């Protein structure tokens, strides 16, 4: 089976995503797409939605949609549809509406984490971010090439990049903690817990102050 490389770079307020690689030439083509996608200078700063006091921008939606397409292209290049089905992987490109739904849900859960005053060990998150970065840097492969170009394109230092990555880890940990607290308080089968959790998230969304600005 061909090697799968996980891209450990942050999508600034969006979780990291995995890129599947089959060859240097193929990756080089994707490398350019990824670098363009992560170039701060090309971001659309239009505010689409506000969730409480937090803003969701068009560039965040664009990044999710584009990263979804890149991931699908790479997966299809490496595996046949039959292999993907056997692995339980069903690929579907994300629409802008779906991307926006995900961003709203994440922000609502982050807002709930703040209301619950949930504390995440940021120092530990930073250590994880630092270690992941050092591991990728040590390998000095295609993944590091993308990270390095991202850092250069956006006039960052490695330290600033790790700060961004740490921020992503902390936010993801807060979201996971909100879900974990609710699930542990609910008795039932795993399927029942998942259904209850989705209803809980829906209730949080419906009670949140969400204002659509330009969508």
Which residues, including other chains, have CB under 8 Å from residue 68's CB and lie 6 or more apart? 93, 94, 99
Strands annotated E in 19-125: 19-20, 47-51, 54-57
pLDDT at 157: 93
**pTM score, two decimals?**
0.78
Give the C-alpha distances (Å, rounded to integers) separating 49 from 57, 63, 68, 109.
Answer: 7, 16, 21, 15
Which residues make Cβ contacts (< 8 Å) with residue 28, sequence separation at least 6?
Answer: none
Task: Say what the pLDDT of residue 18 is.
Answer: 32
Strand partners, 51: 54, 210
Residue 102's pLDDT is 92
Structure tokens at 102: 């995900």
Q: According to the model, what pLDDT value does residue 67 have? A: 79
| pLDDT given at position 103 | 94
> What per-residue confidence (pLDDT) applies to 41?
67
Each residue's pLDDT, cut to its tens digit, for the chain (215 residues) gives 433 333 434 333 333 333 322 233 333 444 555 555 566 667 888 999 999 999 999 988 988 888 787 777 777 777 777 776 776 666 677 889 999 999 999 999 999 999 999 999 999 999 998 998 898 888 877 778 878 888 888 888 999 989 988 998 899 999 999 999 998 888 888 899 999 999 999 999 999 999 999 75
What structural domains and CATH numbers belong to the chain? 4-212 (1.10.4030)
């Amino acid at each position: 089976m061909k090697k799968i490389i996980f891209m450990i770079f942050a999508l600034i307020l969006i979780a990291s995503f995995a890129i599947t690689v089959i060859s240097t030439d193929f990756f080089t083509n994707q490398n350019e797409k990824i670098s363009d996608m992560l170039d701060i200078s090309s971001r659309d700063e239009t505010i689409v939605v506000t969730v409480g006091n937090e803003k969701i921008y068009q560039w965040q939606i664009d990044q999710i949609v584009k990263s979804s397409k890149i991931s699908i292209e790479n997966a299809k290049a490496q595996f046949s549809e039959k292999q993907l089905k056997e692995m339980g992987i069903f690929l579907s490109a994300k629409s802008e509406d779906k991307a926006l739904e995900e961003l709203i849900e994440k922000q609502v859960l982050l807002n709930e984490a703040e209301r619950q005053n949930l504390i995440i060990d940021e120092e530990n998150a930073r250590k994880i971010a630092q270690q992941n970065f050092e591991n990728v840097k040590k390998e000095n492969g295609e993944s590091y090439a993308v990270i390095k170009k991202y850092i250069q394109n956006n006039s960052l230092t490695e330290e600033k990049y790790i700060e961004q990555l740490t921020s992503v880890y902390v936010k993801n940990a807060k979201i996971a903690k909100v879900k974990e607290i609710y699930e542990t308080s609910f008795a039932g089968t795993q399927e029942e817990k998942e259904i209850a959790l989705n209803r809980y998230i829906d209730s949080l969304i419906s009670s949140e102050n969400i204002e659509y600005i330009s969508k």
